[in-house]
Chain A
Amino acid sequence: MFTHIFKYRMKCFLGDKVTLFWTMLFPILLSILFLMAFSNLNNADNFTGARVAVVNNDAYKSDKMFQETLASVTEKHGDDAPLLSMELVSLEEAGTLLEQGKVHGVILMDPDIRLVVNQTGIYQSIIKSFLDQYKQVSASYKSLFQTNPELLAGGNKLVDYSADYSYLTEKSLGKNETDNTVTYFYALLAMASLYGSFWGIRVVSEVQADQTMRGARINLAPAHKMKMLLAGILAAWIIQFVELSLLILFMSLVLKVSFGNQVGYILLTCLVGALTGVTLGTLVGGLIKKGDGIKIGVLLGISMIMSGLAGLYFASFKYFVTKAIPIIAYVNPANLITDALYALYYYDTYQRFALNIFLLLAFSAVFCILTYLSVRRDQYASIPSIQEGN
């Protein structure tokens, strides 16, 4: 009988387009919105280089050193944008470009290097800083060669006064580079996991005679209520797990969100997250003896608060909560899900991941037990569903 009930529970859930939308399509749509928002955010941080017009007069043509230096800062190095983008133009053209705002500044050699700008700003400061540094270094070299002319003839190696040396190297604590945006996507995944609670509501309401007519009919059949409940939870769990896996696949392949390479552990997180979401729904469905609309409202509120505390709206909030009120972080299933994914992504060991999974399983078990206690009774004080025809 369990297989029979399970088969039809699956069919019913797969035909429930409204819940499928909220548990699968809505998180996918939200992830696309996240991507768009974050790509704009990243674009805002991108440095595109200062645009400069260099007057191509005789003084410039004769200064090979300056030409070489300019060439070196206008070349692209790896993924970094060049410091300057340069246009070699006549004096008149340079004036026009500056007036039209097409360049941030004009470099004119007559014969000293001069910078002409018509406003102040970050790009103008960059150009000025570059020119000041060039003047300083070139003056140092000139002074050096004047006092030590043998250096020019001897072919000795010179100290590169223009180079910036850094004696610190940046190294990630974990195996992957830090990426703040993944926290948002992990929190979104946690939210999607908790949306599995919508299935949980349905699982319970359809075995409760006081909630739906179908529940009343099922209670009249010679079938154990726990068997009905477990078949429903299993069906909902499988569907929610597949939905979460599809969401991860979409985020990973289409949106290029990094989840690391440990597919098995990521799927385990989805599996446990789906169970926690579904059982949270069965618990709320069992405890609240009102219509499905009220239950969905309550669960929506719970999911959004939990996901918010896990960093859905503001990534740093997750760290703030974990630091300031750690107990909240440990009793928040959404935070445990994001933290499990976070631990997989950044850490080399599985200790933190295992703790999160263990806590999620413990919550699921508690939710299941409380659900059982709230729906185990077989007789009701009143059956409004039969009167109202729900």
Chain B
Amino acid sequence: MVIKVENLVKRYGELIAVDHLSLEVRQGEIFGLLGPNGSGKTTLINCILSLLKYDKGNISIFGKPMAPDAYDIKRDIGVIMQNVAVFNELTVYENIDYFCGLYIKDKEERKKLVGEAIDFVGLNDFRSFYPKKLSGGLLRRLNIACGIAHKPRLIILDEPTVAVDPQSRNNILEGIVRLNQQGATIVYTSHYMEEVEQICSRIMIIDKGRIIAEGTKEELKSMINIGEIVSVESVELDRTLLDSIGQLPNVSQVEFENQNLTVTFTKGRNNLLNLMDLLRKENLSYGSVYSKLPTLNDVFLEFTGKQLRD
């Protein structure tokens, strides 16, 4: 086990930010921590890293109790915070070298590692640039390079893609997967469900400091009753026909607004075909038809009654 948290409680006065939370992160996985803003993700990470005092619970990393002076553990951890933490007075190379030097004493080894980190994040053409000259996306890449240059066994990324353009976001996500393939265990926190779905092998959804659900994305989706959601655009329906759609097998919800029909089905076979057959029988003309599988947002919605991005 790489990280083990038992019954963690963190309070800010009357507010319970982390509420009796336990989790385990296994060797070699990309563990996703998903939750809306203010759900306690960053507080949980800061407690795990021993930056924050907590009220109750036990935390161990690599099988040893985590503490502020546990330098042997810290040496194998890389952290990328949600905000960029670099020195404006140092160049790209110097920033990475500085932070890497806090972990690696040997100059030659450090030089090699810094070069590899620059290659990894694709900043070779910007080695002598100062951070103020970098775009937001490049700055995020520098931030990542500063956190991973020392080749840590455990990498914790706390919302690294906030306010990043799509191209840089993809670059970052691909990089995280590559780091994992190179042997690093990853903890990835985000409130973007698509990202978590895309790269994480196991996901924990939290809200108000409590665990809502935990498992692989398939396991999470199987926990809810939604099979698929079918949308039909530009269709004319009357009340009778809407009732008929509601009578179809596995239909759990029917919504009709602005000539757009949305039918939510529970798990079952031929749901889309059944709906199409009915529309054809009634000789109705319609535009595009979409069918989508449930997302983590649907999972969150079903468990909490609110949208993930509220």
Contact = CB atoms under 8 A, between A and B. Distances in A.
A380 B53 contact: yes
A95 B41 CA distance: 97
A222 interface: yes
A63 interface: no
B14 interface: no
Contacts of A220: 49, 51, 74, 77, 79
Nearest to A221: B102
Interface in A337-390: 378-383, 386-390
Interface string B19-46: 0000000000000000000000010001
B51 A219 contact: yes
B87 interface: yes
Contact of B85 (A214, A222, A379, A380): A214
Given A222-B71, A386-B42, A386-B83, A217 B90 contact: no
B87 A12 contact: yes
Interface string A12-34: 11111000000000000000000
Interface residues on B, range: 35 or more
Q: Is the interface of B mostly helix, strand, loop or mixed?
A: loop
A213 B103 contact: no
A386 B79 contact: no
Contact of B102 (A1, A15, A381, A387): A1
Interface in B238-294: none
> Which of B72, B86, B87, B90 is the most central at the interface, judged by chain A CB atoms within 10 Å of its CB?
B87
B69 interface: yes
A387 B51 CA distance: 13
A11 B89 contact: yes
A223 interface: yes
Contact of A383 (B52, B74, B77, B97): B52
Given A12-B87, A220-B77, A379 B102 contact: no
A256 interface: no
Contact of A222 (B12, B53, B72, B97): B72
Contact of A381 (B52, B85, B89): B52
Interface string A85-116: 00000000000000000000000000000000
B81 interface: yes
A213 B105 CA distance: 23
Interface residues of A, number: 33
B75 interface: yes
Given A12-B90, A15-B90, A221 B103 contact: yes
A379 to B, nearest CB: 5
A274 B75 CA distance: 35
Nearest to A210: B51
A383 B71 contact: no
Given A222-B74, A222-B102, A209 B51 contact: yes
Contact of B42 (A8, A11, A380, A387): A387
Interface string B54-75: 0000000000000011011011
A4 interface: yes
B94 A8 contact: yes
Contacts of B53: 379-381
B137 interface: no
A16 B84 contact: no
A126 interface: no
Interface in A224-261: none
A81 interface: no
A214 B87 contact: yes
A386 B81 CA distance: 8
B102 A218 contact: yes
A223 B87 CA distance: 18
B146 interface: yes
A73 interface: no
A315 B99 CA distance: 49
A216 interface: yes
B52 A382 contact: yes
A201 to B, nearest CB: 16
Nearest to B84: A213
B98 interface: yes
Contact of B69 (A216, A378, A389): A378
A216 B102 CA distance: 13
A387 B45 CA distance: 13
Contact of A12 (B50, B68, B89): B89
A4 B101 contact: yes
Contacts of A13: 89
Contacts of A5: 101-102
B99 A216 contact: no
Given A1-B101, A387-B42, A379 B50 contact: yes
B68 A379 contact: yes
A14 to B, nearest CB: 8
A389 B83 contact: yes
Contacts of B51: 209, 216, 219-220, 379-380, 383
A334 B51 CA distance: 38
A13 B90 CA distance: 10
Contacts of A221: 74, 99, 102-103
A78 B6 CA distance: 91
A386 to B, nearest CB: 6
Nearest to B80: A217
19 contacts: A4-B98, A4-B102, A8-B101, A11-B89, A13-B89, A16-B89, A212-B85, A214-B85, A217-B99, A219-B51, A221-B99, A222-B71, A222-B103, A223-B102, A382-B52, A386-B46, A389-B82, A389-B84, A390-B83
> Which 6 A/B pairs are nearest by Cβ-Cβ distance?
A15-B89, A378-B68, A389-B83, A222-B71, A213-B85, A221-B102
Interface of A: 1, 4-5, 8, 11-16, 209, 212-214, 216-223, 378-383, 386-390
Interface of B: 12, 42, 46, 49-53, 68-69, 71-72, 74-75, 77, 79, 81-90, 94, 97-99, 101-103, 105, 146-147
Given A380-B52, A389-B83, 15 more contacts: A1-B102, A4-B105, A8-B87, A8-B90, A14-B89, A214-B87, A220-B51, A220-B77, A222-B74, A223-B71, A378-B69, A379-B53, A381-B52, A381-B53, A382-B12
